[in-house]
Chain A
Amino acid sequence: MTTVATFSIAFTRILAPSGELVAPLPAFAADPAELVALFRAMVLTRTFDAKAVALQRTGRLGTYASSLGQEAVAVGIGAAMRPADVLVPSFREHGAQLMRGVSAKELLLFWGGDERGNDFAGPREDFPVCVPVGSNAPHAVGVALAFRLRKEKRAVVCVVGDGATSKGDVAEALNMAGVWKVPAVFVVNNNGWAISVPLERQTAAVTLAQKAVAAGIPGEQVDGNDVIAVRSVLERVLARARDGGGPSLVEAVTYRLSDHTTADDARRYRDDAEVSRHWAEEPLVRLRTYLTQRGIWTKQDEETLLQECGRAVEEAASAYLATPPREPAAFFDHTFAALPADLAEQRAGMTAERRGEP
C-alpha cells in the first residue's frame, strides 16, 4: 500500500483569550487605529444585538438571531472585504453587514418583517440574509463566476454555519467552486451548535475546514474569536481569490453565547457551565485587554465608545420604529418586473376588499 495523498489543516491564532500575542501581528496591526477600528466594530455589533433582542422581547421586532460572542467572525470578514467584493451571508453576520454599509435601520427593518430592509442603500450587490441553511453557497459560486467572466478582480465571501456543512448545497458549491477555480471564499462560522445539535452530532469530521479537502480547495481553521486572525486569514485568501488563485474555505471556530434565536431557549439542551466557560474566550475581552495593556485604549475611550454605539443604535431603532409598514398591496409589486394581468387582478381585488368594496 502506498499513500497517494495527505492533508493537514492549519489553525491560526494571533491573540490568545488572555490577550497575549501568540503569533506575529499581521502588517495592518502595526497601525493601532486599525485595531481600534476592529474593536469599535465589534462593540457596535454587540450593542446592536442587545438592542435587537430588547426590541424583540418588547414585541417590537420579529424573531432575531443574535451574534453574541461571534462578533469577531463577522467583523473580521467585514474588515477584510473590499467594497467591490460581494457578501453572501448566512443570518448571523450583522457585524459584516454593518461594516459594508448596510444601515442598522435596514437590518432592523428586515428583522422586523419589512422587505425594504433588504433594499440596501450601501452594498447594492450584496445578497440578503439566507434563512434556508446552506442554500446560499451555490449563489456565491455564480457571483464569483460572474466576476471571472467579466475579468474583474473581485471576490465573494459566502458565510455558512456549522450545520450547513451537512447539507448537499454546500458540498455541491464547494466542489463546483473547486472545478471552476472561481474567486469565492467560504467561511464556515462554526459556533458549535446548530440550534440544539452540537458539532459532534453534526459530523464525525475532526474539523469543518477539511470539507475543503474533498472539493480540492484549500481549507484552514482560524480562531473565530480572534478578530485580528480572522481579518488576517480572510485578507490572505481573498487576495488569492482576486488574483485568480481560486476559492478557499475558512472555518472560524467560535461559540454561540446566545440562544439560537430569540425564539429558542438553549437551557433546554445546553449546560450553563459550558456557556460560562466560553465567556472567558469571547472576542471583545481579549482585544480590549491587548489594547489596554499596550496603552492604546483607556477606560474613558471605552465609555465614550459605548455611548457612541448606544446612541447610533438608538437612533436606528427610532428610525425603524417610526417607519410605517408598506402599503400592503405593495407586496404584489416585485413578484415580477411587470405585473401580469391575473396578478394585477388579485392586487386590485385585495385593495377593493380592504376598502370594503364588493
Chain B
Amino acid sequence: MSEVSLVQAVNLALKRAMAEDPRVIVLGEDVGVDGGVFRATEGLLALYGEERVLDTPLAEAAIAGVAIGLAAQGFRPVAEIQFTGFAYSCIDQMLNHASRLRTRTCGRLTCPMVLRSPGGGGIRAIEHHSESPEAIFAHIPGLKVVIPSSAARAYGLLLSAIRDPDPVIFLEPTRLYRVSRGEVADDGAGLPLERSFILRPGTDVTLVAWGAMIRETLAAAQQLADEGIEAEVIDVATLKPLDTATILDSVARTGRLVVVQEAPLTCGFGAEIAARVAGRGLMNLVAPIERVAGYDTVMPYARTETFYMPDTARIMAGVQRVMSYA
C-alpha cells in the first residue's frame, strides 16, 4: 500500500475502472494529451488510447449530452467538467435527460454515467473556479451526488460511482487534491454510495460536513477535544441518496448538531440535513441546530475567499453556541 494524494487516488480509480471494464470511456476537455488540468486523467491516453480517452471540443453541455448518448448505449462514460463553475452548462442535460431517462422509459434506457468536476474554494483560483454547487445537483431527482474528502474515499467512491447503474455527480474538492494524502490499496474495492462515514467518534456534539470542509471540521474537533468537548465527525460523502440514519443515530447520542458547508447558507444541503434531524430527531436535541456555512454572496475573489469559507475558528464558534445550551 502506498500513500497518494486525493487527485492521484482519482487517477488510480479511473485506471482501475478502465482496466476492469471496457465500457468505461473518459471524456472531457484536456483529459487526453494533457492528462487533465489537475492531472486526474494523467496516463489514461497512453494506456487506453484515444478511442476510450476522448479530448472533447470546448462544449460542456455537449460533453454531458454525449455521455448520456453513450450511457444509453451501454457504455460507462466518465465525463470531466474542468471546473464546477462550468458544470452549470450541463444542468439542462443532467436535469432534463440524464436524471430521468430511466424514469421516462420505464427502465428501457438508462444512464450509467459519472460527471466528475473539481470545485470549491481555497486554491486562489480566478473567478468561477471555486463554486460549491452540490445542493443544486442534489435537488435533482434521479441524480446521485458524491463528494470525497480523502484519497481512500475518492478511490472507493469513484469506483462505485462508475459501477453504479445511474448517473452520479462526483464533485472533487480542489483544495484537498494535493494536501489530502493517505494510503490507497488500489485493490478495486468500492465504497458504498448510500453511506456516510463516522471519521471521529464523540459524545458531546455531532459535526456533519463533506468535501473540503472535512479537513477544517476534523481540525476543529481536535481543538475541541483539548477543551474537553468530544465531537463526533461525520463525512456525509454521498449527499444523495442521504444516509439519514447515521446522522440521526449520532444526534441521538450527542444531542447537538452542527452542519458545516462551504456553499452558501440558504437552501444549502445543510438545510436538508437540519430539516431531517428536526423532523425525526427533535426530541433528542438539547440545542438548536447550528449551520456554519458560506454566505449568501457570490464567491469572493481569491484575496478574500478565506473570509467566506468556514474555517476551524468559525466551526468552533458554532460548536460553542450549541454547547451553551445545558
A-B residue pairs in contact (CB < 8 Å), sample of 19: A118-B104, A119-B108, A125-B73, A135-B97, A137-B62, A138-B62, A138-B93, A143-B72, A145-B69, A147-B73, A169-B62, A169-B92, A173-B65, A176-B56, A176-B57, A176-B66, A336-B142, A336-B241, A337-B107
Chain A nearest CB from B160 CB (Å) reads 13
Does B2 make an interface contact (CB < 8 A)? no
A172 & B75 in contact (Cβ 8 Å cutoff) = no
Does B103 make an interface contact (CB < 8 A)? yes
The docked-state distance in angstroms from the alpha carbon of A146 to that of B67 is 10
Contacts of B109 in A (CB 8 A): 125, 127-128
Complex interface bits, B121-149 against A, C-beta within 8 A gives 1, otherwise 0: 00000000000000000000110100000
Contacts of A141 in B (CB 8 A): 62, 65-66, 69
B241 & A168 in contact (Cβ 8 Å cutoff) = no
Kindly report which residue of chain B lies nearest to residue A170, judged by CB atoms. Answer: B62
* Cβ-neighbour of A172 out of B59, B105, B110 (below 8 A): B59
Chain A nearest CB from B279 CB (Å) reads 11
Given A118-B105, A135-B65: A127 touches B141 (CB 8 Å cut-off): no
In the A-B complex, the 3 residue pairs with the closest CB atoms: A142-B69, A138-B65, A340-B241
A341 & B65 in contact (Cβ 8 Å cutoff) = no
Does B64 make an interface contact (CB < 8 A)? yes
Kindly report which residue of chain B lies nearest to residue A119, judged by CB atoms. Answer: B106
B194 & A341 in contact (Cβ 8 Å cutoff) = yes
Does B47 make an interface contact (CB < 8 A)? no
The docked-state distance in angstroms from the alpha carbon of A115 to that of B72 is 17
The docked-state distance in angstroms from the alpha carbon of A142 to that of B63 is 9
Interface residues of B (CB under 8 A from A): 25, 51-52, 54, 56-57, 59, 61-62, 64-75, 77, 92-93, 96-97, 102-110, 141-142, 144, 165-166, 194, 241-245
The docked-state distance in angstroms from the alpha carbon of A189 to that of B96 is 22
Chain B nearest CB from A175 CB (Å) reads 6
A115 & B105 in contact (Cβ 8 Å cutoff) = yes
The docked-state distance in angstroms from the alpha carbon of A132 to that of B73 is 21
B104 & A146 in contact (Cβ 8 Å cutoff) = no
Contacts of B103 in A (CB 8 A): 115, 331, 334-335
Contacts of A331 in B (CB 8 A): 103
* Cβ-neighbour of A144 out of B69, B93, B96 (below 8 A): B69
**Chain B CB within 10 Å — which of A141, A142, A145 has the most?**
A142
Complex interface bits, A169-213 against B, C-beta within 8 A gives 1, otherwise 0: 100110110011000000000000000000000000000000000
B interface: dominant SS:
mixed
A-B contact count (CB 8 A): 135
Chain A nearest CB from B72 CB (Å) reads 7
Given A146-B73, A176-B62, A336-B166: A138 touches B68 (CB 8 Å cut-off): yes
Contacts of A128 in B (CB 8 A): 104-105, 109
Contacts of A327 in B (CB 8 A): none
* Cβ-neighbour of A175 out of B59, B72, B97, B245 (below 8 A): B59
A interface: dominant SS:
helix
A118 & B59 in contact (Cβ 8 Å cutoff) = no
Kindly report which residue of chain A lies nearest to residue B73, judged by CB atoms. Answer: A146
* Cβ-neighbour of A337 out of B51, B104, B165, B241 (below 8 A): B165
B242 & A335 in contact (Cβ 8 Å cutoff) = no
Complex interface bits, A102-121 against B, C-beta within 8 A gives 1, otherwise 0: 00000000000001101110
Contacts of A173 in B (CB 8 A): 62, 65-66
Does A240 make an interface contact (CB < 8 A)? no
B241 & A342 in contact (Cβ 8 Å cutoff) = yes
Chain B nearest CB from A39 CB (Å) reads 31
Does A57 make an interface contact (CB < 8 A)? no
The docked-state distance in angstroms from the alpha carbon of A220 to that of B104 is 33
The docked-state distance in angstroms from the alpha carbon of A145 to that of B66 is 8
B65 & A169 in contact (Cβ 8 Å cutoff) = yes
The docked-state distance in angstroms from the alpha carbon of A128 to that of B93 is 15
A341 & B102 in contact (Cβ 8 Å cutoff) = no
The docked-state distance in angstroms from the alpha carbon of A331 to that of B107 is 11
A172 & B106 in contact (Cβ 8 Å cutoff) = no
Kindly report which residue of chain A lies nearest to residue B89, judged by CB atoms. Answer: A168
